[in-house]
Amino acid sequence: MSAYVKGLAYLAAVLAASAVVAGCGAGSGSTGSASATSSDKGPIVIGMSASKSGPYSVDGVASLEGVEYAVHAMNQSGGWLGRKLELKVYDDQSDPTKAQQIYQRLITQDHVDFIIGPYAPDLAAAAGAVATRYKYVMLDPETALPIISGSKWAIMDEPAAKQNLDGYPEIVANEGYKTLAILGVNNAYGDECAAGVKEEAQQAGLKVVYTTSYAPDDALNSAAEAIKARGADAVASCSFFSDGVALTRALDRANYKPKVFGLTIAPSKPEFAEAVGNLASGVISNTSWAPSLKTEGNAEFVQGFKAFKGHAPDYHAANNYQSVQVLAAAVDDTQSLDQQKILDKLYSTTYETVIGTFKLSPDALAVGFKEYLYQVQADGKEQKLVYPDDVAEAKVATPYGGS
Amino acid sequence: MIVVQLFVNALLLAGTYLLLAVGLNLIFGVLRVVNFSHGGMVVFAGLFVYWLVLRQHVSPVLAVALAVVVVAAIGFVTQAAALARIRVTGYDAELLSLLATYGVALVLVNISALSFSADYVSLPELQGSWNIGSIHLGRAAVVAAAVGVISSSAVLFWLARTRSGKRVVATAQSETGAEVCGINAAVTKRVAFTLGSALAGLAGALTIFQSTMAPSAGLGYTVLAFVMIALGGLGNYAGAFLGALCLALLASFTSYYWSGTASAIAPYLLLLLVMLARTRGSRYSLV
């Protein structure tokens, strides 16, 4: 047995060594040509880590593209304070430890002027600790949860998880249905989002007939059987991609079609329709942004992004563009790069952005943004905004038609 | 009726689990190697099939066959180029084998991410269910379970009833003894590792039709398969089936009557209980 212990020790040593090697190599992903120290006359440097590889890479790259376009577009219009912008990016490999090392490096070695937070809450928490320690403003457009309790520096800069299915219970009730099943992946996101749905379901007069939380890799067969056994009219699931696909399939396997089917996150990705085929048709999901929104600069953003990147932006790109938009406005208002002045400005001002109104609560949460609901329609080919009414592009079609 | 449905779901899940475990069990039984690249092979095959079907428009059946062949070839090369070159014996050999296969896993996972998909993906070809009265059987699960049971039974039959299979059993029981009897142990090991890898490839190729898969999920598959064969006794085929069935029943019933979170913890609690109850382990036996 001691040899096995020794073996595990060797394995740990090898893993640690590979982490060091990977960490050393991370710098090779940097873009731009920022000098080690940003001077008063040189470019203003924005630093961030991006999940260019690892499990978050698809969304991580989409996020990075939003910042890249923002830097490009703002340089086209003269930069900030008459200075050009540069972007310094390192690949965090979807790893919170690497993200933390990267933000430490960006602040203490690269001396960047501003930072933008990374993709996903776990990386945001790791990076937020560094931002808080060095008193750097970190807007994080990719976390829907509070980042560091008590810190004003690490700022949740997108709609909160609790808002993710805002309006969904109202849709269910308006369509004449009475009962709802609520599921949530067993992490802070799932808990917060499910709590929000439950609260609103009670306000809408719906009866919640089933609630459960589950591990992200659950096949959800038993949950589907439970939903079927209770005859829930509607299902709301606070899920990520993999579990969203699993629930869609599990309900299909169980021969159960809820009348209304709502899933967070998964349907926004093209891989969802690839994975579930025509079961995607009729699913309702959430987004913080859509190209059709009449928000500040949105039409120009959509057009400019397409011309710059050769494809349409998604909500990750829009969220990230928004963070740079907000920083730009704060720099312009204060005529300064001073972190404390920028922070004070952010907490005392509201800004109109491509995803809506940026407004901070005292506990570092963006509370001005809305979450919108869309439905997959036209046999899965189109996503149409259906809620709220003032932005709706189509009426909600029920019952859920995935077949 | 819900109990019957949950039991049917568990049986189908056990078949899929068995498919995941059978290759790992064969390799451990013969080579005494905990193949850390098992999960890497599973996701490589699954994502390779995804890439072939969706991006290259290859028929699913041909894609599955190609994935099995490619992963078998990877297994052959891994054994010949890495494992066969380990000259030490005993625990040192096991440790080096573990490290070597871990390295292969990293390579496979990164090739999968760079070449096929870095994100979670799946294929919809076998969606839907077949119904027997009010009992429904998911198509992808039925296919995976059937292949799992058939391939596992075929391996068991091969080991127990054929001359070449008996060579493998003999090598597993005593490499020195087998060589004294004229069995080429090096070739036997290569055959076992290649076959075990092919089975991992088959598992991945079929899993992509019933659940999502991403390169990062590789280690999870290795751990799941390892828990199953550890429950049943490492290298023991009948035990692996029992282990798979126990895990599937636990997953199905705890998830329904308790919660999905509980069902995720249950397998590891069961493994701990089994290890506490059988501190000397199960008797090592291939068949």
What are A276-330's pLDDT values in tens digits? 999 999 999 999 999 999 999 999 999 999 999 999 999 999 999 999 999 999 9
Summarised one tens digit per residue, pLDDT across range A353-366 is 999 999 999 999 99
Q: In chain A, pLDDT over 90 holds for what percent of residues?
A: 79
Summarised one tens digit per residue, pLDDT across range B101-148 is 999 999 999 999 889 988 888 999 988 899 999 899 999 999 999 998
Q: What is the mean pLDDT of residues A71-94?
A: 96
Q: In chain B, pLDDT over 90 holds for what percent of residues?
A: 50
- Residue A6 pLDDT > 70: no
- The predicted pLDDT at position A402 comes to 55
Across the interface, do A217 and B264 touch by the CB < 8 Å criterion?
yes
Dihedral sign for Cα A86, A287, B51, A94, please.
positive
The three-class DSSP label of residue A217 is coil
CB-nearest to B120 from A94, A255, A271 is A271
The upper half-sphere exposure of residue B42, i.e. CA atoms within 13 Å in the direction of its Cβ, equals: 33
Distances (CA, A) of A111 to A6, A23, A81, A106, B116: 42, 19, 18, 6, 37
Residue A348 or residue B1, greater confidence? A348
- Establish whether this prediction's ipTM goes over 0.95: no
Contacts of A16 (CB under 8 A, 6+ apart): none
Contacts of A57 (CB under 8 A, 6+ apart): A51, A94, B113, B118, B119
Q: How far is the C-alpha of B287 from the C-alpha of B275, rounded, in Å?
A: 21
Residue B64 or residue B30, greater confidence? B64
**Chain A interface with B: residues with Cβ < 8 Å:** 3-4, 6-7, 10-11, 14, 18, 53-55, 57-58, 94, 186, 212-215, 217-223, 225-226, 229, 241-242, 245-246, 249, 252-255, 269, 271, 274-277, 279
CB-nearest to A277 from B94, B124, B129 is B124
Q: What is the mean pLDDT of residues A338-342?
A: 97
- The predicted pLDDT at position A25 comes to 38
Stated pTM of the model:
0.83
- Residue A369 pLDDT > 50: yes
- Residue B260 pLDDT > 60: yes
- The predicted pLDDT at position B63 comes to 97
Q: Which of B138, B156, B119 is nearest to B240 (CA)?
A: B156
- The predicted pLDDT at position B282 comes to 54
- Residue A35 pLDDT > 50: no
Across the interface, do A225 and B2 touch by the CB < 8 Å criterion?
yes
Q: In chain A, pLDDT over 70 holds for what percent of residues?
A: 90
Q: How far is the C-alpha of A7 from the C-alpha of A147, rounded, in Å?
A: 37
- Residue B21 pLDDT > 70: yes
- The predicted pLDDT at position A38 comes to 52
**Looking at this protein, which amino acid is placed at residue A113?**
D
Best mutation target, A227, A249, A276, to test chain B (most B CBs within 10 A)? A249
List chain A residues with CB under 8 Å of B104: none
Least confident of A108-117, A137-146, B88-97: B88-97
- Residue A129 pLDDT > 80: yes
Instruction: Report the 10 Å Cβ neighbour count for B84.
Output: 14
Question: Which pLDDT band holds residue B274 (cuts at 50, 70, 90)?
Answer: confident
Instruction: Report the 10 Å Cβ neighbour count for A61.
Output: 18
* Bridge-based pairing state of the strands A179-185 and A207-214: parallel
- Residue A215 pLDDT > 90: no
Edge-to-edge strands of the sheet including A372-377?
A207-214, A179-185, A234-238, A260-263, A284-287, A372-377, A382-387
Dihedral sign for Cα B194, B196, B197, B198, please.
positive
- The predicted pLDDT at position B46 comes to 97
Indicate the burial class of A28 (C-beta count within 10 angstroms; 0-12, 13-18, 19 or more). exposed
Instruction: Report the 10 Å Cβ neighbour count for A376.
Output: 28
Q: How far is the C-alpha of B165 from the C-alpha of B163, rounded, in Å?
A: 5
- The predicted pLDDT at position B16 comes to 84
Q: What is the mean pLDDT of residues A152-158?
A: 97
- The predicted pLDDT at position A14 comes to 46
Indicate the burial class of B91 (C-beta count within 10 angstroms; 0-12, 13-18, 19 or more). middle
- The predicted pLDDT at position B279 comes to 61
Q: What is the mean pLDDT of residues A239-255?
A: 92
Residue A21 or residue A100, greater confidence? A100
Q: Among the ranges A28-32, A392-396, B89-93, which has the highest mean pLDDT value?
A: A392-396
Q: Please give the distance of CA B91 from its chain centroid, rounded to a whole number.
A: 23
**Looking at this protein, which amino acid is placed at residue A209?**
V
- The predicted pLDDT at position A263 comes to 96
Which 3-state string (H, E, C) describes B120-171? CECCCCCCCEEEECCEEEEHHHHHHHHHHHHHHHHHHHHHHHCHHHHHHHHH
- Residue B163 pLDDT > 80: yes
Across the interface, do A271 and B141 touch by the CB < 8 Å criterion?
no
- Residue A29 pLDDT > 60: no
- Mean pLDDT (chain A) is 89
Question: Which pLDDT band holds residue B36 (cuts at 50, 70, 90)?
Answer: very high
- The predicted pLDDT at position B286 comes to 54
Dihedral sign for Cα A154, A158, A164, A167, please.
positive
Question: Which pLDDT band holds residue B271 (cuts at 50, 70, 90)?
Answer: confident
- The predicted pLDDT at position A3 comes to 46
- Residue A119 pLDDT > 90: yes
Q: What is the mean pLDDT of residues A255-262?
A: 96
Q: Which of B31, B51, B29, B14 is nearest to B189 (CA)?
A: B31
- Mean pLDDT (chain B) is 89
- The predicted pLDDT at position A17 comes to 47
- Residue A336 pLDDT > 50: yes
Across the interface, do A279 and B127 touch by the CB < 8 Å criterion?
yes
List chain A residues with CB under 8 Å of B95: 3, 6-7, 10
- Residue B80 pLDDT > 70: yes
- Residue A2 pLDDT > 90: no
